[in-house]
Amino acid sequence: MWKFTAKANYGFLPIRFGSLERSVGSRQSAVGSFLLTASCLLLTSCVAYKPFSSPTSSAALPTEYQHYYDYPAASAFEPKILLEKRDSSYRMRRVEIPLNLPKELQSENLKTLQIEYYVPLSWKPGQKRPAILISPILGGNMVVDRFAAYYTGRGYVAAIVHRKKLEWDDAKEMEQIEDYLRTCVIRIRQALDWLEVQPEVDRERIGAFGVSYGAILHTVLAAVEPRIRYHVLAMPGGPLADVIMHCPEKQIVKLVKRIREKYGWKDDVILENLRKVIRTDPVKFAPYVPREKIQMYAAWFDRVVGKMNSMNLWRALGKPELKILPFGHYGGVVVFPVLQTQSYWAFKKKLT
């Protein structure tokens, strides 16, 4: 007789599956079979909440925000091709276009915008395909490129908006954080300007996928950008000041440290001042987002964005369709196949 106990880590919390006892047969084959079954359960299990079918009426965007993310319109696009790549199901071009910002946001480091543009090999000249605009995590594009390839493999066009690195400048005041966030939203809107005029794109069928920091930005985008018909938000959260103060991500920890050193503030004072300066906050914009335009994913053991911050944002959005992942923030990588499949089917349903 032998006993085997399996454990799986849902994010940061170990969950005990229980004991398996057996008196005959192969121990190795039993262990392998058990682990395979457990893995399948982990990959496919999530708690889903679907709202009533009737849509909610979102409030009108306040006057103070109606033109906050406006920018000088480009008369024409002159993209510079930086990279070309061909895969089994798509071709990809990394292009660079001029970035037009309001005068108060302009700087030498913000002259251009990079976009990775994926087109399926099945595309024929003259066809118009649905398109997915994608924004990455704070760390870069190494996650969302998988989603772009997945969508393109199913006939969609996809575009990844390269993220601009967050850099703290001691010569500037706290308002630079809001300037950075506002600039990020404007960059996504200008990427959309470029995307919708591409010959492969059906401008009436554009969706958006954001993960982590990208999902936070896309919550704001959903309130101010009517050209996008549907948003899938993976692991966002708010209020943003609370996310920043408790986030263990290195870039954010470094940011809080620099603020602490410059001003000599304690954490409660930093939090208070972040709440004052941050206008580009997903919770503030949530009341202006139609619930039926959103599908949201939250990680139950999220210690990066924070589970409570994710649920706060979900409630502020009017409780749209929600799927709970039994992992932590980084553990979500295990369920990428599930996220890819379910987000694709959501887009397929909404972008008809």
- The per-residue pLDDT for range 266-300, each reduced to its tens digit, is 999 999 999 999 999 999 999 999 999 999 999 98
Same domain, 66 and 39: no
The token duo for 275 is: 């709440």
28 and 96, same domain (yes or no): no
Q: How confident is the model at residue 25 (pLDDT cuts 50, 70, 90)?
A: very low
Whether residues 100 and 176 fall in one domain:
yes
Look at residue 53 in the predicted model and tell me its pLDDT. Answer: 60
Confidence band (pLDDT; 50, 70, 90) for 57?
low
Q: Which residues contact 8 (CB under 8 A, 6 or more apart)?
A: 14, 15, 17, 38, 42
For residue 202, give every residue at least 6 positions away whose Cβ sits within 8 Å of its Cβ, in sequence order, or none: 128, 129, 130, 131
Domain of 168 in residue numbering reads as 46-350
Q: Are residues 164 and 294 in the same domain?
A: yes
Give me the phi and psi of 91, to 5 degrees please.
-120, 145
The CATH number of whichever domain residue 268 belongs to comes to 3.40.50.1820
Q: What is the mean pLDDT of residues 44-54?
A: 65
Say which residues have a Cβ less than 8 Å from residue 138's Cβ, sequence separation at least 6. 163, 166, 212, 213, 249, 251, 252
Statement to judge: residues 21 and 67 lie in one domain: no
112-134 per-residue burial string, b: 16 or more CB within 10 A, e: under 16: ebbbbbbbbeebeeeeebbbbbb
Q: Which residues of 285-303 are buried (b: 16+ CB within 10 A; e: fewer)?
A: bbbbbbbbbbbbbbbbbbb
* pLDDT at residue 136 in the model: 87
**Which residue reads 């790549």 in tokens?**
85
Q: Does residue 293 contact residue 231 with C-beta atoms inside 8 Å? A: yes
DSSP secondary-structure letter at 331?
G
Q: Which among 13, 28, 43 is the end of a domain?
A: 43
In this structure, are 126 and 245 located in the same domain? yes
| Side chain identity at residue 337, one-letter code | P
Q: Give residue 327's pLDDT band: very low, low, confident or very high (50, 70, 90).
A: confident
Q: What would the mean pLDDT of 173-190 be, rounded to a whole number?
A: 96
pLDDT value, residue 52: 62
Number of domains in the chain: 2
Residue 38 is encoded by which pair of tokens? 């457990």
Regarding whether 82 and 39 lie in a shared domain, the answer is: no
| Residue 79 sits in the same domain as residue 195 | yes
Residue 126 C-alpha from the chain's centroid:
31
Cβ pair 314, 298 in contact under 8 A: yes
Q: Looking at the predicted structure, is the pLDDT value of residue 64 above 90? A: no
Average of per-residue pLDDT values in the chain: 85
Query: Do 18 and 57 fall into the same domain?
Result: no
**Of the candidates 42, 48, 46, which has an alpha carbon nearest to the alpha carbon of residue 9?**
42
The answer to whether residues 116 and 240 belong to one domain is: yes
- pTM value? 0.85
Domain co-membership, 148 together with 161 = yes
In terms of domains, do 326 and 266 share one?
yes
Q: Residue 136 in contact with residue 163, Cβ under 8 Å?
A: yes
